[in-house]
Structure 1
């Protein structure tokens, strides 16, 4: 995919959500930076300050942290047409606790926070879209917290398959286990039991 095609995917996504004039599309195009990542390449590393709004135009990324025992904890998967980044680092200016890694060759559209805030001021419907996305992601986070507290390991796995049907065949099982908060061995047992039913 050429850089122009990557930005076109982003603009098409925005146009499918809100009504934008050609002049507004040009404003967005002007500040859009294309970042291409090879599989296993990082968009963000722990300790770096995150400064962008990032849209995945192509490919697939994951956001994760690593604890003191070197265990990975996956916070998010971001396939195409999803946003990614570290909002806490972006808003505070503090170093990130997370890594964002490409699980496939990927293309991401980056807009610096300063440029993004400027766009939101000039294009009110973009600001409304961002608020709607933040609202949805808050609900998703609440749902995940509830699942991790209230559901059994088996229920967590089935909840994951229900919520993210397109993701389960794109990531290794150990990453699904990390995302839902169970050990790979537990997930293997759950999957074995599911196939017996």
Structure 2
């Protein structure tokens, strides 16, 4: 199912996504109208999953309201948060999306959230109709790679305080919206260690 905007749609999701795209790539009205027509709205309640480990991920999700996170579970049931996605962020499992293998992670909503879903199967059609989106998604993938390398470097070399300070720069709105134990799981710290870091800072 696809949804197309009315000719003068100025809804918050429409405006947020358009502004997001326009600061990254040159965009015409026709480009955006075509792209919007492939998106599907979805509402998630707090703690509801977008998908779970073992399922194949087939779409990108753009967050227009709320906050999502991706996470994995150890054999003992401990959570490791991999990414946060507040408003104006995309979230997905790129490995599962590109290989069509079952995901090893899950994505759930930390707050009541509103999303726009883009099916991977529609991307080649979008690229053919509007080549600017091929550039946009190349830039998006490059950004994701840089973020991944930063996380690896941080895990290997940064102190707990440095990890937390980097987190605050990257996700400045998250700290007041997300439980402390979830932030600790993202940083690779125990909740007690994170509490000590926050007191020291």
Task: Give the alignment's TM-score, normalised by structure 1.
Answer: 0.90
Q: Which moved more, 1:112-121 or 1:176-185?
A: 112-121
SS in 2 for 1:128: helix
Alpha-carbon distance, 1:8 to partner: 4.4
The counterpart of 1:169, out of the listed 148, 164, 176, is: 176
Q: Do the aligned partners of 1:53 and 1:116 also contact (CA within 8 Å) in 2?
A: no
The runs of 4+ residues in structure 1 deviating greater than 4 Å are none
Q: Which moved more, 1:165-174 or 1:82-91?
A: 165-174
How big is each residue's C-alpha offset from its partner over 1:52-86, in whole Å with a ceiling of 9 and x where there is no partner?
12211111100001111110000000011111010
| Unmatched runs of 5 consecutive residues or more in structure 1 | none
The counterpart of 2:158, out of the listed 142, 151, 154, is: 151
Q: Do the aligned partners of 1:7 and 1:32 also contact (CA within 8 Å) in 2?
A: no
Q: Which has the higher helix share?
A: 1
Task: Give the alignment's TM-score, normalised by structure 2.
Answer: 0.89
2:40 aligns with 33
Q: Distance in 2 between matches of 1:44 and 1:180?
A: 23
Q: Distance in 2 between matches of 1:20 and 1:189?
A: 47
Quick check: 1:107 aligned with 2:153? no
Q: Distance in 1 between matches of 2:167 and 2:157?
A: 14
Q: Alignment length, in residue pairs?
A: 192
| Unmatched runs of 5 consecutive residues or more in structure 2 | 6-10
Q: Which moved more, 1:149-158 or 1:57-66?
A: 149-158
The counterpart of 1:119, out of the listed 107, 110, 126, is: 126
1:78 aligns with 85
